[in-house]
Structure 1
Amino acid sequence: MSSNELQQHAIVILENYKTGLSADDASQLSLVIEDIVNDCIGFGPLTGLLHDGAISEIMVNDFQTIYVEKEGQLSLSSVAFSSEEELLLVIDRIITPLGRRLDSSQPMVDARMPDGSRVNAVLSPIALRGSCLTVRKFLAKQLQFDDLISQGSLSTEAALYLQESVVQRRNILIAGGTGTGKTTLLNTLASEIPEHQRVITIEDAAELQLSHRNLIALESRPPNAEGQGRITIRDLLINALRMRPDRIIVGECRGIEAIDMLQAMNTGHEGSLTTLHANSARDALQRLEVMVLMAGLDIPLTAIRQQIASAIDIIVQIQRTSEGARIINEISEVSGIDADVLQMNQMFIRKNNQCMATGVLSEWTL
């Protein structure tokens, strides 16, 4: 049975059992049937939150405190776990089918649920106030450029620029903080890739949902209980170069794999896409430099900057406002290197609550 079929079957069993009870007992059981099923085969208090389409993120600070995000705003949920043990049981129920484990030897886990939602859990005493859980729910509807325009995330002109950038195989870097919508924008950009091109996606925990015909999706793997079998983003990226990709999409650059990504962009894989955490377009370039240096290769900083200048064409800076809205704040082109400093041209910046063109001519023909 699927999870839904199993839950419906359990409800039928309890409903049949209820018919043999007194009126008072049957009435009391009716009030808690759903809770019983959720506790036994569901995700306890989280079940209703997971099914609520308006909730984008669930944050369990401890078994008594659960916050949810709706429309970019955080609020304290009215539901809670009854104990630390119940929270641990639900965490185990989430991660066990995913082939992950959580115990004293491995007190943190990052995994992906079958529906694409991302799960992170940390055990006590690493989490000082008690075990905690974060679920970033999968966005069922993939946003299109028209949706971003109607939401005010970017202007029509900026949308056309980005669409043309993907078609003309510009290498694009999406930068922003946690929860700003980098993966969502990456999905939207990738939807513009022509169907005949072979695309390989590489992620730590798969979140991209591309409806592309010629697609290979790869996901990294943590070590097993013996500390063996780990497959890193860098391993996957090196292997992807042998798979005849037209474009490579790395869900997030966060370490030494950055050097391989830059080399791929520089060796015939134009039109590749990736994201990283940064507060501005300039910070994104500096973070790339640091990540390449982390590889420990004896490469002069000047050579690294030349690699970045020739690999990255466009940087899209995305941020989250105090009201929770996710907006594109800046779109810049990397124009080259001058006096050992990476040069950028701002093509679009946010003015009057819109991502407006600056009037600077593009380095490439639209």
Structure 2
Amino acid sequence: MNRIETLVLLAGTELPSRAIRTQIASAVNVIVSGGTGSGKTTLLNSLSSFIPKSDRIVTVEDAAELKLDQPHVVRLESRPANLEGKGAISIRDLVRNSLRMRPDRIVVGECRSGEALDMLQAMNTGHDGSMTTIHANTPRDACARVETLVLMAGFDLPVRAIREQIAGAIDVIVQVARLRDGSRKVTAISELVGMEGEVVTMQELVRFEQQGLDAQGTVKGEFVMSGVQPACLRRFEEVGVAFDAGLFSTAPGRKAVGTTWLR
């Protein structure tokens, strides 16, 4: 199965698959969020294949799972301490060192500690199109999880400052889940659009609505489009990525959810 087929399988249909591929090509910063076994790394691997071949990519992982075919890829792996407790190289060490390797994009297999702070700083300092995964059940939970991980870096940062970093760094959160029938699917695509007071504001672009099970026990459902244009549409135009302006619109037979301001 090739990367496009994998992406379509996880996304459920060609429509959300096209939306995600467009965002990757236009260098938006993406977080893939989901629970254990939901397909986060599989999706990240598929998304990474749509990065242009001209980009220099640095991947950071605990164990090499990403299989990128681009010619300019630097792969970094963490290392545990030896029997004497020395020589450990953490994910955070690698993320900080990757910034010295002139990457166009940084792809971190999973953020689970203080490296989230370094990842946000990288996204905010010109490394557009960077990606990572995180354990969370919803896009809103993913933002809260990033906030918690940043605090684990050991710096006494104000909560508002952290949230401003999150709002400025992350463009899109792709939520994946393992459904009751064992299948894995993209269940939501949400976009961060800024701050409103002390709250990071998000709008939902696509949502998968479950509609029960069929006779074989397979989850039934449909993708519901928001009917709003993504705020990153200007980015598509700036980098010259072809984009169907009606992709997120409410077409006949496609249910609209409107703009969802998540708090």
Query: What TM-score, normalized by structure 1, do the two folds share?
Result: 0.60
CA shift for structure 1 position 356: 3.2
Aligned counterpart for 1:230 among listed residues 84, 88, 91:
88
Q: Secondary structure at the match of 1:346?
A: strand
Match of 2:164 in 1: 306
1:252–1:152 CA distance, 2 compared to 1 (3 A): closer
Q: Secondary structure at the match of 1:194?
A: coil
How many residues align structurally? 224
CA distance in 1 between counterparts of 2:223 and 2:32 reads: 15
CA distance in 2 between counterparts of 1:268 and 1:153 reads: 29
Does structure 1 conserve the Cα–Cα contact (< 8 Å) formed by 2:6 and 2:46?
A: no
Query: What TM-score, normalized by structure 2, do the two folds share?
Result: 0.82
Q: Percent identity over the alignment?
A: 48
- Which of 1 and 2 has greater Rg? 1
CA shift for structure 1 position 146: 3.1
Aligned counterpart for 1:362 among listed residues 218, 224, 230:
230
CA distance in 1 between counterparts of 2:187 and 2:132 reads: 18
Moved more, 152-161 or 334-343: 152-161
Does structure 1 conserve the Cα–Cα contact (< 8 Å) formed by 2:95 and 2:119?
A: yes
Q: Secondary structure at the match of 1:217?
A: strand
CA distance in 2 between counterparts of 1:184 and 1:237 reads: 21
Give the residue type in structure 1 aligned to 2:42: T
CA distance in 2 between counterparts of 1:148 and 1:192 reads: 11
CA shift for structure 1 position 272: 0.2
The answer as to 2:145 corresponding to 1:145 is: no
Q: How does 1:176-325 map to 2 (within 5 A)?
A: 176-325=34-183
The gaps in structure 2 that reach 5 residues or longer are: 212-220, 234-242, 244-263
CA distance in 1 between counterparts of 2:224 and 2:54 reads: 33
Does structure 1 conserve the Cα–Cα contact (< 8 Å) formed by 2:105 and 2:128?
A: yes
1:144–1:354 CA distance, 2 compared to 1 (3 A): farther
Deviation string, structure 1 residues 148-207 (Cα, Å, up to 9, x no partner) = 43x363322211111110111000000001111101100111000010100000001211
Match of 1:347 in 2: 205
Deviation string, structure 1 residues 191-249 (Cα, Å, up to 9, x no partner) = 00010100000001211111111101100000001110000001101110000000000
Deviation string, structure 1 residues 289-341 (Cα, Å, up to 9, x no partner) = 00111112121100000000000000000000111000110000001110110
Does structure 1 conserve the Cα–Cα contact (< 8 Å) formed by 2:7 and 2:46?
A: no
Match of 1:157 in 2: 15
Match of 2:260 in 1: none
The gaps in structure 1 that reach 5 residues or longer are: 1-140
Match of 2:32 in 1: 174
- Greater helix percent: which structure? 1
CA distance in 2 between counterparts of 1:148 and 1:201 reads: 20
RMSD: 1.3
Moved more, 222-231 or 294-303: 294-303
**Which structure's relative contact order is higher, taking Cα pairs within 8 Å and 6+ residues apart?**
2
CA distance in 2 between counterparts of 1:364 and 1:257 reads: 26
CA shift for structure 1 position 354: 3.0
Match of 1:338 in 2: 196
Q: Secondary structure at the match of 1:327?
A: strand
CA shift for structure 1 position 274: 0.2
Structure 1 runs of 4+ aligned residues shifted over 4 Å read none
Give the residue type in structure 1 aligned to 2:164: Q
Give the residue type in structure 2 aligned to 1:186: L
Give the residue type in structure 1 aligned to 2:138: S
Give the residue type in structure 2 aligned to 1:341: V
Moved more, 200-209 or 248-257: 200-209
Does structure 2 conserve the Cα–Cα contact (< 8 Å) formed by 1:328 and 1:355?
A: no
